[in-house]
Amino acid sequence: MKYLEINTKEAPIQILLEADPSEKMISSYLKNSWCYAAQDNGKIIGACVAKLIRDNTAEIFNISVHPNHQKKGIGTNLLTFTLKNLLEKSIHRVELGTGAFGYQLTYYHRIGFRVESVIKNYFINNYAEPIFENGIQHKDMLRLYIDIRPRI
């Protein structure tokens, strides 16, 4: 497995759609972003998109792994690789938005992300089609953050 930074023009839209069902939303955040990938035998099987949103702060807009390769630690390794690379770009804080429940919330907490705020009705107001997980509709977005500055 190889982890690397790729040009956003090479971003695998089909894989990114696993985490964000809107091509319109994906296109909106790909511009001027950094894209990191997990590559297996020359084929991209995972991707993470991050973007500078203010001084020393980036947002992760998408991280996804192809369904055939999930639950193998690839996403965790890709996120760890992304955070390391963002630190090398002088990023000290990383933020992201996610659903208020589900496996992804546990995943981010394991990495060290913390809840900062809630955006009520985000998924209702920003997506044409409802998003369901385990039969429950996602409505609110949790805003999470992690401080990635090295501890002295």
Q: What is the pLDDT of residues 56-108, one digit of tens each?
A: 999 999 999 999 999 999 999 999 999 999 999 999 999 999 998 888 898 99
**Residue 121: pLDDT band with limits 50, 70, 90:** very high
Residue 117 has pLDDT above 80, yes or no: yes
CA–CA distance, 27 with 112 (Å, rounded to integer): 28
* Tens-place pLDDT, residues 28-62: 999 999 999 999 999 999 999 999 999 999 999 99
pLDDT for residue 103 = 83
pLDDT of residue 133: 87
Please report the pLDDT score of residue 152 as a whole number.
Answer: 61
> How many CB atoms are closer than 10 A to CB 5?
13
Closest to 146 in 3D by CA, of 122, 119, 110, 121: 110
